[in-house]
Amino acid sequence: MKAAVYYENGEPGVLRYEDVADPVCHPKGVVIRVEAVSIEGGDTLNRWRGALRTHPHIVGYQAAGEIIVVGAEVDGLRVGQKVATVGADGSHAELRAVAAASAWPIPDGFDVAKASAIPVTFGTADDCLFEFGRLKAGETVLVQAGASGVGVAAIQLAERAGARVLATASSDERLERLKAIGLDDGINYLREPVSQAVMRLTDNKGVDLVVDSVGGSTLQGSILSLGYRGRVSMVGAAGREPMNVDVSTLMGGNRSLSGVFLGAEIGTPRVRANIQRLIDEAARGELTVIIDKSFPLSRAAEAHAYIESRQAVGRVVMVP
């Protein structure tokens, strides 16, 4: 099969389009013919400095397509079925082997590219807001990097739950596009420090919950944006900075900082059912999956570079 591979970490230019061996189906797994690769923030980070589990390495968490092989010990999935899949790596390829427990059926007629972008982004955003963030109707949420994959999901889910939604981005144009999916107030952090803008927009009360997938100095701004009993769901490191944060302001206001990692619970019945629910809701038009741009898999380096240019809103996908 063809795949986008790399032999060393680095900038998008390390990605090459090459022939590699086809993946082998595990007895408890499936192999899909990939129809869409959703490029995750974690994929660009892994390409930059993640471990190379294979040589050459095929990066990538999320891809969707048609099942072509079903493992002998798998019930409930069949050849010809369309599924959205998540794995530790291997999405940037024509074929992909994953555990059957990490393959979610796509409802008939739902766009496979949109389905490819749901499990990690919406599953993570949902956990950040509800399972770990304990969001309630009437509260105010700040979504850092609102135009990101996780951000676009978090804005919609928070709005739908009856929260007021603030979000940050590095451009006014991207913030403007987020209004259509439920953003109430955008903060361009290149023009005003985030915590200052939050206090201005909340009559100095601060927010009840922050979803922070950026980390580093941004995480400090998240902590400083909290109101009394405010919570931060810390879920990523897109900013590529060290996490040297000062947590001293948490205690006085009964505030908290929680780490969230979907991967730790993705194999549980709770998360499996949650992701299927989110896919079904998107298929019914109750959630919006934004595909910003599509590239052929052969142009993976260009697709990664486009993401890192920080122009995208939502997801960039690739088609083998």
Ligand X SMILES: NC(=O)c1ccc[n+]([C@@H]2O[C@H](COP(=O)([O-])OP(=O)(O)OC[C@H]3O[C@@H](n4cnc5c(N)ncnc54)[C@H](OP(=O)(O)O)[C@@H]3O)[C@@H](O)[C@H]2O)c1
If binding is defined by CB under 6 A, does position 291 make contact with ligand X?
no
Record the tokens describing residue 116, joined without a space. 């490819």
Least distance (Å) between residue 235 CB and ligand X: 4
- Name which of 174, 189, 186 is nearest 290 in CA terms: 174
- Give, to the nearest 10 degrees, the angle between helix 216-224 and helix 194-201: 30
If binding is defined by CB under 6 A, does position 118 make contact with ligand X?
no
Evaluate whether 6 touches 16 at the Cβ level (below 8 Å): yes
Least distance (Å) between residue 45 CB and ligand X: 5
Only segment of 21-29, 93-101, 141-149, 178-186 that touches ligand X (CB under 6 A): 141-149
CB nearer ligand X, residue 112 or residue 128 = 128
If binding is defined by CB under 6 A, does position 119 make contact with ligand X?
no
Centre a 10 Å sphere on the Cβ of residue 59 and count the other Cβ atoms it contains: 30
* String of DSSP letters for 166-186: EEEES-HHHHHHHGGGT-SEE
* Count, residues near ligand X per rule CB under 6 A: 29
Residues 218-277 that bind ligand X (CB under 6 A): 235-240, 260-263
Evaluate whether 93 touches 4 at the Cβ level (below 8 Å): yes
Task: Sort strands 62-70 and 82-86 into parallel, antiparallel or unpaired.
Answer: antiparallel
If binding is defined by CB under 6 A, does position 209 make contact with ligand X?
no
Only segment of 11-19, 48-56, 70-78, 305-313 that touches ligand X (CB under 6 A): 305-313
CB nearer ligand X, residue 240 or residue 284 = 240
If binding is defined by CB under 6 A, does position 148 make contact with ligand X?
yes
Residues 9-48 that bind ligand X (CB under 6 A): 40-42, 45
